[in-house]
Amino acid sequence: MAKITYNTYDNKTHTIDVQNGLSVMEGAVQNDIPGIDADCGGGMACATCHVYVKEEWLGKLPAKEDGEEDMLDMAFEPKSNSRLSCQLIVSDELDGLEINIPSKQA
């Protein structure tokens, strides 16, 4: 279990306990946190679960697989701290992770 903080674009903060093994995307979708569409359902095929990761967490996350960076090219306003939340699998190490959800996914 990890506490994940999702900051939505309307300046609301949602801190949720997400079970280990779920993705950060699933944590948002299952808890009705707006702004993460996840159209392809977690297949790294659509870039609509794009999030910005708080700088201090960037180095602590698992590295991007081939393909994630390619998909991020398609994301809405990608930045250096962009990740696809379907690729961030929750574990105890992610306890305290904070992400910002972009204004739009497309």
Partner 1 sequence: MNKTDVLIIGAGPTGLFCAHQLGIIGLTCEIVDNLDKAGGQCIELYPDKPIYDIPAVPECTGEELTNNLLQQIKPFNVKFHLNERVEELKKVEKRWNVKTSGGLEFDVAAIVIAGGVGSFEPRKFSVKECEKFEGSSLLYSIKDKTIFKDKTISIFGGGDSALDWAIELSNVSNVNLIHRRDGFSGAESSVQKVKQLHEQGKLNLFTKYQMESVVGDNKIDLIKIKHDEGEIKELKSDYVLGFFGLIMQLGPILNWGLNINKKTVEVNTKSFETNISGIFAIGDICSYPGKLKLILSGFHEGALAARGCFKYAKPDEKLRFEFTTTSKAAQERLGIKK
Q: Which residues bind partner 1 (CB under 8 A)?
A: 37, 39-41, 43, 45-48, 69-70, 73-74, 76-78, 80, 104-106
47 versus 99: smaller Cβ distance to partner 1: 47
Other CB atoms within a 10 A radius of the CB of residue 22 amount to 17
Q: Which two tokens stand for residue 76?
A: 């809405």
If the CB atoms of residues 45 and 96 are measured against partner 1, the closer one turns out to be 45
Shortest gap between Cβ of 69 and partner 1 (angstroms)?
Answer: 6
CB of 27 to partner 1, least distance (A): 15
In whole angstroms, the minimum distance from the beta carbon of 19 to partner 1 comes to 19
